[in-house]
A and B are shown apart, each in its own frame.
Chain A
Amino acid sequence: MLVDFELIKRAQNKDSAAFNEVVLAYRKRILGTISRLIARSEDVEDVAQEVFLRLYFSLDQLRTPEVFEPWLYRLTVNAAFDYLRKQRRRQEFRMSDLSEQQVLMADANAGSKVEHEEQTKKKVRESVDSLLGAVSEADRILLMLKEVEGLSLKELEQIYKVNENALKVRLFRARQRVLKAFGARGKKEGPG
């Protein structure tokens, strides 16, 4: 927990200063999670504000402060899912061609190490975003929370409020689909 229970209790009683502290404590983490879940940097703050807005108006429904973090994650997941559902448009990532071009451009520019690293990171981001296009928005979020955010099955169980076995099955299927896309892309790109 990044904050103590007392602060959450004060925020529950509509104490603005306490709520501010809670937001400041979790803001960076929530922004990071959302940026990886929705993969659109320009909308990250908007979705994060929506999360904290929902938190403000539903905080009084939280019975035990101990479950605050899974609950906040649940709000985050729901807000990200709503955003993705609204967007609905699956971007057609022409990943490999585009990245090759960018890498070539970077090389042509005889770029510095930093530039090269930035290009590599961009390539990785595009690659994962493209692979996750193989699964639904809901599964994308689930996979992200497990594989990238590093949440345990226990934590996911608290967030999704479903049993561990159901989560395992869903994760396995989603991962298999991503692996299939990963394998297919590997074959297309060829060895090396």
Chain B
Amino acid sequence: MSMRGNEDEKLDALFRAYRDACPDPEASANFMPTLWARIDSRQTFLFSFRRMANAFVTAAVALSIALGVYMTIPRSSAGSPSETYVEALAEANPLDNPDIVSPAARVELNAR
């Protein structure tokens, strides 16, 4: 900082003069009442927001439970409820006509 030039010093002096030219202003009489009004207003907003968020969460939980219950109810049109995918596949492709068996295995089956 030893290389500070004339301009630097002038700028420092200008900043100092600026500090003196801008004293700390006094607050108006309404400062505190307005501040508390703003705090109250923000608090009311946050309270309403929290209530809305709680209501939303409750509704989401209720909807999830309802959907869960709905999914567990057996439906008659869906065939036998105990039938698994493998069972359904086996039924669709009986061993008499085993498309899903490899050619070598099929030759073996025919030889029998």
In the assembled complex, the CB of A27 is this many whole angstroms from the nearest CB of chain B, namely: 5
> Are B24 and A28 touching (Cβ within 8 A)?
yes
Q: Mark A9-40, 1 if CB is under 8 A from B, else 0.
A: 00000000000100110011101100110000
How far is it, in angstroms, between the C-alpha of A147 and the C-alpha of B12 when the chains are bound? 8
Q: A20-B32, A125-B21 are in contact. Are A28 and B26 (CB under 8 A)?
A: yes
Shortest Cβ distance from A24 into B: residue: B32
Q: Mark A112-145, 1 if CB is under 8 A from B, else 0.
A: 0000000011101101100100000000000000
Residues of A within 8 A of B14 (CB): 124, 127-128, 131, 182
Residues of B within 8 A of A179 (CB): 7-8, 11
Whether B18 sits at the interface, judged by CB under 8 Å, is: yes
How far is it, in angstroms, between the C-alpha of A149 and the C-alpha of B27 when the chains are bound? 19
Query: Interface on chain B toward A: helix, strand, loop, or mixed SS?
Result: helix
Interface size class of B (residues with CB under 8 A): 20 to 34
> Are B22 and A35 touching (Cβ within 8 A)?
yes
> Are B32 and A121 touching (Cβ within 8 A)?
no
Whether A56 sits at the interface, judged by CB under 8 Å, is: yes
User: How many residues in A have their beta carbons less than 8 Å from beta carbons of B?
Assistant: 37
> Are B17 and A124 touching (Cβ within 8 A)?
yes
Residues of B within 8 A of A182 (CB): 7, 10-11, 14
Chain A residues in the interface with B (C-beta under 8 A): 20, 23-24, 27-29, 31-32, 35-36, 41, 44-45, 48-49, 52-53, 56-57, 120-122, 124-125, 127-128, 131, 147-150, 175, 178-179, 182-183, 186
